[in-house]
Amino acid sequence: MRSLSSKFRRIAMLRERLDGEYVVDCHTHIGGRSSIYHLPDSSTEDIVAEMDRIGVDLAITFSFAGITSDYAYGNDVAAEAVRMFPDRFIGFALVNPHYHTEMDSELERCRQMGLRGIKLISHYQKYPIEGPGLFPAFEYAHEHSWMILSHDWGPPEYLDRLAATFNNACFIVGHYFAPTYAEVVTKRENVYQCTCAALNFGDVEAMVDSMPADKIVFGSDMPDLPLMFSLAPILFARISDSDKRKIIGGTARSMIERWPGNAA
């Protein structure tokens, strides 16, 4: 149902905080420094303050460091954020497939530190998403009922095969550029779509037209992208308030309950 009298649109027009709504940001970074760009106001405390200012209850977070540099250092940073704010962050381990022989032990170290999911970004690490160096991560997630969010998953058929093979893991498509994965998201119980980078005109509506809102989770990419840069398109979208409520938090709540991970 298309809605022009949306409560969420009204909130955005009035520039109000999202009080009374459960909001989960499934795609954030932690660490506050990157070779790629300057990241102002991006300490762990700053990120929590931004979540408070907008009305975000919970965030899945992973390091900047692991994208371009030392992944283990980055996982320490993510674990520290979880230790500082255990009720606000779910920490994911970020691994590098070039170090695949260390991956299992690193994931176990991360689990001992309280992390309970995996972030993959092999595209930035110059490694093919279909390469064998990522399989230790899939196996670990399958064994421990973890979520895995990847920047991309290659061909949809590949993600479909992974979801079927490692069916105790949860696969999150980290970015939306087009409804490329709509069929597999709809078909597989353990595959979800993140809204991150749905920034073109009509993207949110196209996403909801192509897959169920029960499988779409909000992600901002903060502090790469601004939180409201990513959230406002959902609030303004010409979709029902019921679907908006699912996307900004309801779907993520169900997903996290189903794949809680086993932190040590």
Q: Which of 206/260 has CB closer to other proteins?
A: 206
Q: What is the distance, to the nearest Å, from the Cα of residue 10 to the centroid of all Cα atoms in its chain?
A: 26
Q: Distance (Å, rounded) from C-alpha 203 to C-alpha 91?
A: 28
Q: Is 126 in the site for other proteins (CB under 8 A)?
A: no
Q: Which of residues 208-237 bind other proteins (CB under 8 A)?
A: 222-233, 235-237
Query: Closer CB to other proteins, residue 127 or residue 236?
Result: 236
Q: Minimum distance between the CB of residue 25 and other proteins, rounded to whole angstroms? A: 12
- Token digits of residue 218: 């909000």
Regarding 114 and contact with other proteins (CB under 8 A), the answer is no
Q: Which of residues 152-181 bind other proteins (CB under 8 A)?
A: none
Number of residues that bind other proteins (CB under 8 A): 41
Decide if residue 200 touches other proteins (CB under 8 A): yes
Contact between 159 and 134 under an 8 Å Cβ cutoff? The reply is: no
Q: For the CA atoms of 44, 47, 75, 188, what is the dihedral angle to 10 degrees?
A: 160
The CB-of-11 to other proteins minimum distance in angstroms stands at 11
Which listed residue (1, 5, 20, 38) binds other proteins by CB under 8 A? 38
Interface with other proteins (CB under 8 A), residue from 199, 212, 240, 253: 199
Q: How many CB atoms lie within 10 A of CB 143?
A: 14
Q: Does 40 bind other proteins (CB under 8 A)?
A: yes
- Residue 11 makes CB contacts below 8 A (sequence gap 6+) with 18, 235
Q: Please pick, from the candidates 1, 15, 101, 132, the single residue that binds other proteins as defined by CB under 8 A.
A: 15
- Residue 54 binding other proteins, by CB under 8 A: yes
Smallest separation (angstroms) from other proteins to the CB of 102? 29
For 29-50, b/e burial (b = at least 16 CB within 10 A) is: bbbbebeeeebeebebeebbeb
217/23 Cα distance (integer angstroms): 10
Question: String of b and e for 165-180 (b: at least 16 CB within 10 Å)?
Answer: ebeebbbbbbbbeebb
Closest CA to 18 of 60, 71, 55: 55
- Which C-beta is closer to other proteins: that of 48 or that of 228? 228
**One of 7, 33, 53, 83 touching other proteins (CB under 8 A):** 53
Which CB, 48 or 232, lies closer to other proteins? 232
Q: What end-to-end distance do the CA atoms of the chain give, in Å?
A: 44
Rule CB under 8 A: which residues touch other proteins?
4, 12-16, 36-42, 50, 53-54, 198-206, 222-233, 235-238
